[in-house]
């Protein structure tokens, strides 16, 4: 058996930079037609020159593959209409990080008062530049996304023409908001579809399943699965694949992030097949995103075969999601 996907897209991806970029980029560019690239480098990407240069480095790292890197800028409330108009030639969206909630988010927004963000968000709205949001407060780790809901509602109401993407949603409360507000959209990761907190701390400690936002309860996972398996039109696949070297994960003060890029489409096939929803996978991994972002990705057929795939234990010095485990699907290019 095989599944042929047309121009699959990963709508939330961390490619890092330099050697790490060179190590990880091809796992995505082989199997996807395009990806939304997160701007939280050190320092974060906030200028047009920097975004152009980063896009070129990604082009170099993915040479030989039909792949488009859709770029994003790191949100600053100093961005004005003229700047954003120029930026729009290079970027597809702007990513907002509340300060301190995840890897390299220290320069993020520390005051979530709508008034302070208004000028920038109105300009984005006018320019039809989507706002991508890491939606977490600094509260108790299991409540952060739910608590952020108030802010999602304020945003949705204050900027009704702005497309707001709740990135990597993890919590059933976000799904309620998604259904309630027309201009809210969401990405869902593979790991939030498959894991719960039990996988991280329920048995022995699993640093390679440690990520932000943390994976939640069985009830949360069920609601996310429903949404993805039905390929709800407001939901896109976004992996949040976020590589760190093994020695930054398996140590005291370990880094948050799951390197899922090497297993994404096989594991999604497994999940959708198990639930008898393979026919919805195309929408979830591509068509919905095309509609929401109004993009026309590079034509590319990606074949996933039902054939055993043992996930490597290490890819250079990075441990991928499901390292050493057996999947029943694999990308043909593997």
Candidates 1, 53, 141, 150; binder of a copy of itself (CB under 8 A) is 141
- Give the integer Cα–Cα distance in Å for 28 and 34: 8
Size of residue set near a copy of itself by CB under 8 A = 28
Q: Between 127 and 200, whose beta carbon lies closer to a copy of itself? A: 200
Span from 30-38, 104-112, 183-191, 198-206 in contact with a copy of itself (CB under 8 A):
198-206
Q: Bin 111: left if φ > 0, else alpha if -120 < ψ < 50, else beta.
A: beta
Question: What is the number of other CB atoms lying within 10 angstroms of the CB of residue 208?
Answer: 20
Active-site entry in 65, 171, 220, 240: 240
Q: Between 150 and 205, whose beta carbon lies closer to a copy of itself? A: 205
Told to check if 319 binds a copy of itself by CB under 8 A, we report yes
Told to check if 89 binds a copy of itself by CB under 8 A, we report no
Candidates 256, 295, 303, 327; binder of a copy of itself (CB under 8 A) is 256
Candidates 90, 200, 303, 327; binder of a copy of itself (CB under 8 A) is 200
Told to check if 194 binds a copy of itself by CB under 8 A, we report no
In the block, tokens 């990761």 appear at 189
- β partners of residue 187: 236
Question: What is the number of other CB atoms lying within 10 angstroms of the CB of residue 207?
Answer: 16
CB of 40 to a copy of itself, least distance (A): 16
- Give the integer Cα–Cα distance in Å for 16 and 93: 18
Helix (H, G, I), strand (E, B) or coil at 170: coil
Q: Between 64 and 203, whose beta carbon lies closer to a copy of itself? A: 203
Q: Between 105 and 280, whose beta carbon lies closer to a copy of itself? A: 105
Non-local CB neighbours of 150 within 8 Å, separated by 6+ positions? none
Question: What is the number of other CB atoms lying within 10 angstroms of the CB of residue 28?
Answer: 26
Token pair listed for 251:
């140590």
Using CB under 8 A as the criterion, what x/- string covers residues 208-247 for binding a copy of itself?
Answer: x-x---x--xx-----------------------------
Told to check if 251 binds a copy of itself by CB under 8 A, we report yes
Told to check if 146 binds a copy of itself by CB under 8 A, we report no
| Bond prior to 241 in cis (omega within 30° of 0) | no
> How far is residue 236 from each of residues 137, 161, 251, 258, 333, measured CA to CA in Å?
23, 19, 33, 19, 24
Asked if 80 is an active-site residue, the reply is no
Q: Between 34 and 243, whose beta carbon lies closer to a copy of itself? A: 243
Candidates 78, 204, 296, 326; binder of a copy of itself (CB under 8 A) is 204
Of 7, 23, 6, the closest CA to residue 15 belongs to 23
Candidates 18, 80, 86, 198; binder of a copy of itself (CB under 8 A) is 198
DSSP 319: P
At residue 25, φ and ψ (nearest 5 deg) are -60, -40
Of 34, 6, 1, 2, the closest CA to residue 301 belongs to 6
CB of 8 to a copy of itself, least distance (A): 29
Q: Between 26 and 249, whose beta carbon lies closer to a copy of itself? A: 249
Told to check if 207 binds a copy of itself by CB under 8 A, we report yes
Q: Between 107 and 207, whose beta carbon lies closer to a copy of itself? A: 207
With residue 154 as reference, give the H or E element that holds it.
Answer: helix 144-158
Told to check if 252 binds a copy of itself by CB under 8 A, we report yes
- Provide the annotated active-site residues: 240
Residues that bind a copy of itself (CB under 8 A): 140-142, 196-198, 200-208, 210, 214, 217-218, 249-256, 319
């Amino acid at each position: 058996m095989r599944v042929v996907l047309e121009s699959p897209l990963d709508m939330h991806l961390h490619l890092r930079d330099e050697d790490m970029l060179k190590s990880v980029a091809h796992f995505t560019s082989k199997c996807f037609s395009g990806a939304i690239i997160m701007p939280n480098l050190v320092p974060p990407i906030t200028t047009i020159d920097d975004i152009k240069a980063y896009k070129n480095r990604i082009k170099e790292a993915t040479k030989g593959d039909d792949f488009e890197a859709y770029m994003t800028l790191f949100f600053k409330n100093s961005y004005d209409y003229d700047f954003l108009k120029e930026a729009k030639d290079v970027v597809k969206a702007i990513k907002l990080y509340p300060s301190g909630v995840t890897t390299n988010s220290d320069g993020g927004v520390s005051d979530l008062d709508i008034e302070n963000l208004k000028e920038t968000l109105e300009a984005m709205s006018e320019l039809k530049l989507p706002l991508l949001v890491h939606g977490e407060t600094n509260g108790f780790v299991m409540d952060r996304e739910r608590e952020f809901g108030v802010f999602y509602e304020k945003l949705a109401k204050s900027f009704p023409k702005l497309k707001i993407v709740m990135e990597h949603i993890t919590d059933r409360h976000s799904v309620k908001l998604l259904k309630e507000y027309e201009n809210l959209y969401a990405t869902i990761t593979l790991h939030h579809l498959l894991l719960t907190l039990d996988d991280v701390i329920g048995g022995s400690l699993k640093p390679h399943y440690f990520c932000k936002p943390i994976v939640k309860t069985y009830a949360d996972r069920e609601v996310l699965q429903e949404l993805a398996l039905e390929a709800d039109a407001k939901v896109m696949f976004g992996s949040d694949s976020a590589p760190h070297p093994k020695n930054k994960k398996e140590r005291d003060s370990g880094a948050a992030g799951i390197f899922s890029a090497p297993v994404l489409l096989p594991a999604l096939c497994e999940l959708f097949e198990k639930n008898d929803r393979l026919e919805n996978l195309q929408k979830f991994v591509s068509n919905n995103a095309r509609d929401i972002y109004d993009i026309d990705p590079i034509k590319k057929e990606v074949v996933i075969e039902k054939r055993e795939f043992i996930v490597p234990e290490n890819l250079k010095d990075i441990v991928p999601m499901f390292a050493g485990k057996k999947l029943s699907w694999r990308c043909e290019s593997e």
